[in-house]
Amino acid sequence: AQSVTQPDIHITVSEGASLELRCNYSYGATPYLFWYVQSPGQGLQLLLKYFSGDTLVQGIKGFEAEFKRSQSSFNLRKPSVHWSDAAEYFCAVGARNNDMRFGAGTRLTVKP
Amino acid sequence: DAGVIQSPRHEVTEMGQEVTLRCKPISGHDYLFWYRQTMMRGLELLIYFNNNVPIDDSGMPEDRFSAKMPNASFSTLKIQPSEPRDSAVYFCASRKKQVGELFFGEGSRLTVL
């Protein structure tokens, strides 16, 4: 079965600084990759997804992610973080067996 | 379109009581998933349905947990009897196609005393 690793449990960045959240996956075939964001007390909202094609995908709220097959990675980036970006971020991998597995999440704190 | 709707949003109950969580998926979505979220274990897939049929329930912790989907617009997750270690946020999510993004409800926060 597929699996996802998010190495960073908690990251703190200053407002206006750039952000990169790491995600590594394990899957024997071409994965379907997702990034979700969760604000406190809320469900998960999709930021972006990768199925095929261009390995650099753009999402909502100014986020982007790059699929690197050689590194089994799908890192999330944002050039300039806003205080409203503080939340929990989850990477997920889907497979043709239908289910979707999530990483443990990375909590983002934004310093003023 | 309305999103995935879950009820109740919060439930506090005592150990040994039966708990029923409900979910209404997005209309037209053929797949429905139940996840459990805890600090210790993160997001765990419990069970998912395709066209109302359970496909994979290997994530259901034990026999105290059961899930049903009697029709395309309704699913329940039942815990009987409940235990304090069941305290968690339970999410329902739905999806239209075999592969695609999941749409999540706002979750049901369960506290078992």
pLDDT digits (tens, 9 = 90+) for B36-51: 999 888 899 999 999 9
A105/B43 Cβ within 8 A: yes
Residues B76 and B23 sit within 8 Å (Cβ to Cβ): yes
A82: CB partners within 8 A, 6+ apart: A15, A110
| Amino acid at the residue A82 | H
Q: Which residues of B touch A44 (CB under 8 A)?
A: 91, 93, 102, 104
Q: Which pLDDT band, with edges at 50, 70 and 90, does A27 fall under?
A: confident
The answer, yes or no, to whether residue A13 has pLDDT greater than 90, is: yes
CA distances (Å), origin A42, targets A8, A57, A96: 21, 25, 28
CB contacts < 8 A, A to B, total: 50
Residues B107 and B7 sit within 8 Å (Cβ to Cβ): no
B42/A43 Cβ within 8 A: no
Find the range with the poorest average confidence among A27-31, A94-98, B1-5, B8-12: A94-98
Q: Chain A 52-81, CB below 8 Å of chain B: which residues?
A: none
The answer, yes or no, to whether residue A97 has pLDDT greater than 70, is: no
Residue carrying the six token digits 């949003």:
B9
The answer, yes or no, to whether residue A96 has pLDDT greater than 80, is: no
Question: What DSSP character marks residue B84?
Answer: G
pLDDT at A1: 73
- What is the rounded CA–CA span in Å between residue B57 and residue A110? 38
Bigger pLDDT: A46 vs A2 = A46
Over residues A55-83, mean pLDDT: 96
Q: How many CB atoms lie within 10 A of CB B75?
A: 25
- What is the rounded CA–CA span in Å between residue A86 and residue A80? 13
The residue of chain A nearest to residue B43, with distances taken between CA atoms, is: A102
Q: Is B15 on the interface with A (CB under 8 A)?
A: no
Give chain B's mean pLDDT.
94
